[in-house]
């Protein structure tokens, strides 16, 4: 890897991008330093992918600027050699072999033939696919494709790795493997921008998290910093049947309740002193014939933070 | 360099696709064989003969026809089946030899041989002429034999045998048919017609169908991956255009080599032929790129592309010569690039054309290539941004 610059490697300043009347990204600023894994957390449609496309130079911002290593992404083509992009969907030729796919992508970075061979072998080993190097990608399992998709973004030894929801649709074993790899990348000094809507992934791998909703960065910090914002609040999940929307409204009206969100079969509440609130929450459901089947009171985590900040559950 | 890498990956994918390979390499050769065998020109005529009851005299005419170069004989046993075969196009000409021809001949009476022919085209006219010539030749023998029998002590049969034996040694008036080299009407025949027209058809058609690969690459997110690297949109466009250009060249080269070696096609002036192949490959590259940006799904490109290619080929004279269609249709045909390419090949293959003589066609085709490549590049650029 090339020498790391002082200060943040990626710097986004007041990035804006609209599609028609809808602001997909609305004035987001963030920075990532070498060795830092930054999680961009938000529900589907929050603006994560738009943000990532602007960082990678795939989308021109309406306003603001992106620099990597102090160079502007939108004007300096060579800066893209510092970025490794891992798209959300598998972007590989299914009818070419793993080795052919990697060789092709490596050649786009003007690597010499010897270096291409070396890097392809290196990435295949990293992806644990050396024994399948000459097999067509369409014969691979979903997890193998995901690993190769990530590997393709590492061929040119980028300083900044941008991963757009890399674990979507992946089995638990492959997910575990991918997350371990991402943590390793951070340890080697690579800056990582990692988007996900899986809270536990962000908690596990990211040094710092930015919460994005409706195109705005509504909170940013380490996990501890974000959770501490909640003070003594708890997250209470009430699995229930009946009119959950009416139940949520009733809960929301109770003093001490900060935010309420509904999922398909539960109402999630963030409240001060959750255990004390429980009887009141159950009483709120009685007049509207809601049956609470299970209760789960947990310590605050990023999901609680998200619920508290946005008033919606992350996986809505 | 990067454009080459893109072209190499795209070409590799197409080569690995067996269906694409079949349409790219195998089908054109099959069609050349079929069309070439069908459009064989006027070198062989199939002649039907009803000789029932005509005796030895009739058999002599049948043998003479059978021995005539360029005539294949089919025997029919009644007039109805003979005329039916003619109506169905199974034979070019029908010959009805009258019953009792033997007796009529030996008694030196006039005899009439009937020839059935529609003569609606030059092939049938030529067949009727060839058959008439053979029958008149036999008539001359009979006249000679009758004359000799009447003025000597020989019998008719002895005189006929003598006349027949002398036929090969007696000086006679020969007849030679020479086609006038009128450059306005001469068309290549057989494989010399089918090979160049199928080249024109299949290079364009394969390119249109091949547009599916661009759509699939876009859907796979590969362009996005490329653009996330230090690759400009114009490099991707150049790579894709190069893919279609190279495939068109390879396909053309295959058809030319197979046409020359297997079917004896002479492709005319090499420099002019090379210029035409390259210009047409550029037209194909433009059509392929355009197909990749016009259609929304690979399935649309694979289904609509070949259909459009065949329709344009029909209009442009790849299926039949434009010289046989109406003036209006000929003018409409020349809206397509195919018509100009076929015109150029016709000039090269049957009129000893050179690069100078096909310069107007090359100019028009180059203009088609520029327009197609410009429009498609612009569209692909917009899709990539």
Q: What is the ipTM of this complex?
A: 0.81
Residues 52-91 of A with CB under 8 A from B: 56-58, 77-78, 80-81, 83, 85, 87, 89-91
- Comparing C-alpha atoms, which of A76, A153, A58 is closest to residue A67? A76
Q: Looking at the structure, tell me whether residues B69 and B196 fall in a common domain.
A: no
Give the whole-angstrom CA distance, residue A4 versus residue A71: 14
In Å, how far is B20's CA from the nearest CA of chain A? 13
Q: Looking at the structure, tell me whether residues B8 and B157 fall in a common domain.
A: no
CA A260 to chain centre: 23
Q: Looking at the structure, tell me whether residues B208 and B315 fall in a common domain.
A: yes
Q: How many CB pairs below 8 A link A and B? A: 70
Domains in chain A: boundaries:
10-226, 233-299
Interface mutation target, options B11, B216, B229, chain A, most CBs of A under 10 Å:
B229
For B316-327, what is the HEC assignment?
CCCCCCHHHCCH
Residue B220 φ then ψ, to 5°: -70, -15
Q: Looking at the structure, tell me whether residues B34 and B91 fall in a common domain.
A: no
Q: Looking at the structure, tell me whether residues B221 and B364 fall in a common domain.
A: yes
Helices (H) and strands (E) in chain B, counts: 16, 4
Query: Which of residues B167, B200, B230 is at a domain's end?
Result: B167
**Number of domains forming the structure of chain B:** 2
Residue A14 φ then ψ, to 5°: 45, 50
Q: Give a yes or no: residue B302 inside a domain.
A: yes
- Residue A178 tokens, joined: 């991918």
Say which CATH topology domain A233-299 has. Alpha-Beta Plaits (3.30.70)
Residues 199-218 of B with CB under 8 A from A: 217
- Comparing C-alpha atoms, which of A179, A178, A172 is closest to residue A146? A178
DSSP string, B30-99: HHHHHHHHHS--SS-EEEEEE-TT-HHHHHHHHHHHHHSTTEEEEEESSHHHHHHHHHTTS-SEEEEPPT
CA angle A245, A250, A255 (to 5 degrees): 140
Q: Which CATH number fits domain A10-226: 3.90.280.10, 3.40.50.300, 3.40.50.11240, 1.10.10.350?
A: 3.40.50.300
Pairing mode, if any, of strands B45-50 and A266-272? Answer: unpaired
Residue among B9, B224, B227 whose CB faces A104 most closely: B9
CATH of the domain at B111: 3.40.1710.10
Residues 296-325 of B with CB under 8 A from A: none
Q: Give a yes or no: residue B180 inside a domain.
A: no
Q: Looking at the structure, tell me whether residues B210 and B310 fall in a common domain.
A: yes
Residues of B with Cβ-Cβ distance to A87 under 8 angstroms:
221, 224-225, 228
**Count of alpha carbons within 13 Å of A51, Cβ hemisphere only?**
37
Q: Give a yes or no: residue B334 inside a domain.
A: yes
Q: Give a yes or no: residue B223 inside a domain.
A: yes
- Comparing C-alpha atoms, which of A104, A98, A159 is closest to residue A126? A98
Q: Give a yes or no: residue B248 inside a domain.
A: yes
Q: What is the residue-level pLDDT of chain A in tens, covering all 316 positions? A: 445 456 789 999 999 999 988 999 999 999 999 999 999 988 888 898 899 999 999 999 999 999 999 999 988 899 999 999 999 899 999 999 999 999 999 999 988 999 999 999 999 998 889 999 999 999 998 888 999 999 999 999 999 999 998 888 778 888 888 888 889 888 999 999 999 888 888 888 898 999 998 899 988 988 878 877 766 678 888 999 989 999 999 998 888 888 888 888 889 888 877 778 888 888 888 888 888 999 988 877 777 788 777 777 665 4
Q: Looking at the structure, tell me whether residues B163 and B72 fall in a common domain.
A: yes
Q: Looking at the structure, tell me whether residues B162 and B201 fall in a common domain.
A: no
Q: Looking at the structure, tell me whether residues B33 and B52 fall in a common domain.
A: no
Give the whole-angstrom CA distance, residue B293 versus residue B378: 9
CA angle B117, B121, B125 (to 5 degrees): 50
Could you give the dihedral angle defined by the CA atoms of residues A52, A54, A55 and A57, in that order, rounded to the nearest 10 degrees?
A: 120
**Domain housing B323:** 2-39+190-384
């Amino acid at each position: 890897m090339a020498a790391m610059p002082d200060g943040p490697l990626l710097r986004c300043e007041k990035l804006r991008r609209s599609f028609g009347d809808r602001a997909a990204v609305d004035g987001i600023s963030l920075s990532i330093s070498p060795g830092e894994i930054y999680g961009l957390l938000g529900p589907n449609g929050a603006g994560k992918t738009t943000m990532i496309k602007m960082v990678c130079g795939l989308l021109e911002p309406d306003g603001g600027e992106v620099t990597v290593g102090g160079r502007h992404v939108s004007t300096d083509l060579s800066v893209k050699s510092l970025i490794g992009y891992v798209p959300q969907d598998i972007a590989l030729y299914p009818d070419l072999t793993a080795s052919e796919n990697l060789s092709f992508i490596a050649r786009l970075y003007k690597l010499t033939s010897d270096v291409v061979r070396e890097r392809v072998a290196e990435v295949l080993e990293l992806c644990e696919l050396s024994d399948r190097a000459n097999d067509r990608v369409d014969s691979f399992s979903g997890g193998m494709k995901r690993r190769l998709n990530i590997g393709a973004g590492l061929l040119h030894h980028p300083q900044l790795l941008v991963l757009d929801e890399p674990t979507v649709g992946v089995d638990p074993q492959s997910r575990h493997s991918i997350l371990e790899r991402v943590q390793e990348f951070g340890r080697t000094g690579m800056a990582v921008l990692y988007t996900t809507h899986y809270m536990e992934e962000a908690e596990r791998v990211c040094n710092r998290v930015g919460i994005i909703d409706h195109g705005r960065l509504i909170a940013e910090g380490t996990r501890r910093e974000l959770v501490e914002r909640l003070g003594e609040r708890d997250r209470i999940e009430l699995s229930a049947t009946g009119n959950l929307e009416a139940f949520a409204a009733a809960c929301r009206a109770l003093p001490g309740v900060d935010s309420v969100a509904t999922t398909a079969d539960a109402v999630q509440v963030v409240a001060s002193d959750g255990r004390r609130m429980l009887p009141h929450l159950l009483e709120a459901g009685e007049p509207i014939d809601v049956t609470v089947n299970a209760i789960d009171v947990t310590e605050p985590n990023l999901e609680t933070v998200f619920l508290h900040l946005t008033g919606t559950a992350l996986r809505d | 360099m990067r454009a080459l890498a893109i072209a190499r990956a795209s070409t590799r994918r197409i080569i690995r696709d067996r269906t694409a390979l079949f349409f790219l390499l195998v089908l054109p050769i099959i069609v050349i064989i079929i069309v070439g065998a069908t459009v064989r020109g006027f070198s062989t005529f199939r002649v039907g003969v009803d000789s029932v009851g005509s005796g030895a005299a009739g058999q002599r005419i049948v043998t003479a026809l059978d021995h005539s170069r360029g005539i294949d004989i089919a025997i029919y046993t009644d007039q109805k089946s003979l005329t039916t075969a003619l109506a169905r196009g199974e034979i070019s000409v029908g010959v009805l030899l009258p019953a009792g021809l033997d007796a009529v001949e030996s008694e030196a009476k006039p005899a009439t041989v009937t020839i059935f022919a529609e003569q609606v085209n030059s092939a049938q006219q030529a067949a009727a002429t060839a058959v008439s010539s053979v029958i008149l030749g036999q008539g001359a023998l009979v006249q000679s034999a009758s004359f000799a029998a009447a003025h000597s002590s020989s019998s008719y049969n002895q005189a006929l045998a003598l006349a027949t034996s002398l036929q090969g040694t007696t000086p006679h008036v020969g007849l030679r048919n020479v086609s006038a080299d009128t450059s306005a009407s001469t068309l290549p025949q057989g494989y010399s017609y089918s090979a160049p027209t199928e080249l024109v058809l299949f290079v364009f058609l394969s390119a249109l169908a091949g547009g599916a690969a661009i759509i699939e690459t876009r859907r796979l997110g590969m362009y996005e991956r490329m653009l996330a690297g230090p690759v400009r949109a114009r490099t991707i466009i150049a790579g894709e255009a190069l893919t279609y250009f190279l495939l068109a060249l390879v396909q053309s080269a295959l058809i030319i080599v197979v046409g020359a070696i297997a079917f004896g096609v002479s492709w005319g002036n090499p420099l002019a032929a090379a210029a035409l192949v390259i210009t047409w490959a550029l037209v194909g590259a433009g059509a392929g790129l355009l197909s990749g940006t016009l259609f929304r799904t690979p399935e649309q490109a694979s289904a609509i592309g070949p259909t459009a290619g065949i329709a344009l080929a029909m209009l442009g004279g790849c299926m039949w010569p434009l010289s046989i269609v109406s003036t209006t249709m000929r003018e409409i045909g020349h809206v397509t690039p195919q018509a100009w390419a076929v015109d150029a090949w016709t000039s090269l293959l049957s009129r000893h054309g050179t690069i100078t003589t096909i310069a107007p066609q090359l100019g028009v085709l180059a203009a088609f290539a520029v327009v197609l490549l410009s429009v498609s590049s612009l569209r692909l650029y917009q899709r990539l941004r």
